[in-house]
Chains A and B, each alone.
Chain A
Amino acid sequence: MDSRDTILKKLKANKPEFIALPKINPAVFDENIDKVKEFIRKTEVAGGKVFEVTDNKEVLSKTQEAFPETKVNFSNLDDSGFFNTIDSESFKNPHELNDLDVLVLESTLGVAENGAVWLTDNDIPVRVIPFITKHLVLVLPKENIVPYMHQAYSAINPMDLDYGIFISGPSKTADIEQSLVIGAQGAMSLTVFLK
């Protein structure tokens, strides 16, 4: 018998009698929070910045204002031609994205209770890009902010997901004497534009 069958047989023999699966009732946790306010507060606690804007044009102009000196920029918003210094050709070899300075991506889901923004393969041209970039800029429609993780997972179809990620704030570590340092292995800053 191979290990697979041995393990499964042992688990079957050793498991306790069947215990019912509890139901999650999200109403128990509901505090009727102001979703936008809470999202902004939690993103800032996580080390990110939040700005409210009217459209994508404003996103790009504000991004340029915030990062005036950067050499390598990419945005997947519509009409980003003037902003982009690289095109989709560059994604063929992601290893060469190491000098990417600013990346702008659009998300369709955010979570108020923890400032997490959801991205999937549909939102990112290549998986490594939100991590390898120096600065990450995310655009999120206000009406797509849900209060808690329970509502977030209701909005995600588990059978239609190849890869997805919740990002809350910039990459960070406190592994040296518990001193918080922003910018560990991933993005060194996170800016979220709510529109």
Chain B
Amino acid sequence: MARQGGKAAAGRAAHPAALSVLSVLALLSLWEWAAGGGWVREAFFPRPSSVVAQFVVLVRDGTLASHLSATLTRVAWAFLVAALPGVAVGLTMGVWRGAREALDPLFAFVYPIPSVLFLPLAAFVLGRGEPARVLTSAVTSFFLVAANTLTGVRQLDRGVLEAAVHYGATGHRLFFKVLLPGSLPWIFTGLRLGLGFALIVVVAVEMVGAEQGLGSLLWLSWQTLKVRDMYVTLLVIGFLGLGATYGLERVRERLLPWQPRVEVRR
């Protein structure tokens, strides 16, 4: 998200975040009061304080940690399995027109298929187990990384390429000193989107078939009607998504100081 409005607002309010904090506090206390007074059904909307209490319980007895680590491990593997071939394929398609034209129709067809559906396919190949879940979660991320990498290569300024060739960057030097660094910003966008999508699919896959993981905890809490557990899990997943997005953005800023700074959400 672009935040160019932030500076202007700073002049008016004492602190630009004050209103946001106030908004959250107001909603939480309204919720607390309404649930406590019986205005909304606590079976559906438990008091925030009781959700926090349950959070502490789940942290203490290790439930959250074991599910969280299962999910994180899967996301990490899926991300890795998607990112490396994704970048390689994207770069290949970027520099080699034959590959681009051959793969384009296949990718256009497979890319929009929701990843969860690949679970049976992956299970046929790898058996019902962890590798199948990881592979399933990697499918869409792979396409996102490849697509953005390809765009990164294609959008390189022709004038800059011409100049680089003129100053002797040919062959592998052209690739490693020009094409790769020049498309890095797009590769990073692809990685960021891919990481987000890996989380989405991992949770979905855990919901339909895994004994461990935040998705299965969510599913279990529905089936056993433990609403507080559900809210805790949702919060954790939310912060996980937030962390993945902003974490990778920080990494990008650190690694690509030559880019004018743009803040993004997504």
Task: Report whether chain A binds chain B.
Answer: no
Interface residues of A (CB under 8 A from B): none
